[in-house]
Amino acid sequence: MTNEQLQHIRADFPILTEKIYGKDLIYFDNGATTQKPRCVVEKIENGYYHLNANIHRGVHFLSQKATEAHEAARTTVAEFLKAEKREEIIFTRGTTEAINLVATSFGEAFCHAGDEVVVSVMEHHSNIVPWQMLCERKGLKLKVIPMNESGELDLDVFKSLLNEKTRIVSITHVSNVLGTINPVDEIIQIAHEKSIPVLVDGAQAVPHIPVNVVEMDADFYVFSAHKIYGPTGIGVLYGKSNLLNAIPPYQGGGEMIATVTFEKTTYNELPFKFEAGTPDYIGSTALAEAIRYVENIGIENIAAHEHELLIYATEQLLEIEGMRIIGTAENKSSVISFLVGNIHPYDIGMLLDKLGIAVRTGHHCAQPLIDSLGIPGTVRASFAFYNTKEEIDVFITALKKVVLMLS
Amino acid sequence: MTINELQDNIIEEFSMFDDWMDKYALLIDLGNSLEPLDEKYKNQQNIIMGCQSRVWLNAELKDGIVTFQGESDAVLVKGIVSLLINVLSGHTPDEILNADLYFIDDIGLKEHLSPTRSNGLVAMVKQMKMFALAYKSIKQ
Give yes or no: B32 in active site: no
What's the complex ipTM?
A: 0.87
Domain annotation for chain B: domains and CATH numbers: 3-139 (3.90.1010.10)
Q: Encode pLDDT of B71-96 as tens digits.
A: 998 999 899 899 999 999 999 999 99
This prediction's pTM: 0.93
* A406/B25 CB distance under 8 A: no
Question: In this predicted model, which residue has the larger pLDDT, B51 or A225?
Answer: A225
Do residues A349 and A379 touch, judged by C-beta distance below 8 A?
yes
- The whole-angstrom distance between B64's CA and the closest CA on chain A is 36
Nearest-angstrom CA–CA distance, B57 and B41? 8
For the segment(s) A51-295, the CATH number from 3.40.1160.10, 3.40.50.2300, 3.40.50.1260, 3.40.640.10 is 3.40.640.10
Measure CB to CB from residue B119 to each of A346, A363, A406 and give the nearest one: A346
- Give me the mean pLDDT over the A28-52 stretch: 97
Q: Chain A: nearest CA to B76, how far in angstroms?
A: 6
Chain B nearest-CA residue for A345: B74
- The reported pLDDT for the residue numbered B45 is 83
For A391, counting Cβ atoms within 10 Å of its Cβ (0-12 exposed, 13-18 middle, 19+ buried), the class is buried
Q: A344 and B119: CB-CB below 8 Å?
A: no
CATH 3.90.1150.10 for domain A3-29+298-406, yes or no, is: yes
Q: What is the mean pLDDT of residues B38-53?
A: 82
Question: Where do the domains of chain A lie?
Answer: 3-29+298-406, 51-295
Residue A135 has pLDDT above 80, yes or no: yes
CA–CA separation, A65 and A367 (whole Å): 45
Predicted confidence band at A38 (pLDDT cuts at 50, 70, 90)? very high
pLDDT digits (tens, 9 = 90+) for A79-129: 999 999 999 999 999 999 999 999 999 999 999 999 999 999 999 999 999
pLDDT score recorded for residue A206: 97
A155 close to B (CB below 8 A) = no
Q: Which of A343, A94, A359 is nearest to A228 (CA)?
A: A94
**Better-predicted residue by pLDDT, A340 or B101:** A340
How does the average pLDDT of chain A come out, rounded?
96
Sort out which chain B residues have CB atoms less than 8 A from A354's CB and list them. 20-21, 24
**Minimum-distance CB partner of A346 among B24, B28, B77:** B77
CA distance B134 to chain A (A): 32
Give the tens place of pLDDT for each residue, A198-236: 999 999 999 999 999 999 999 999 999 999 999 999 999
Q: Does A125 touch chain B (CB under 8 A)?
A: no
- What are B112-125's pLDDT values in tens digits? 666 566 667 778 88
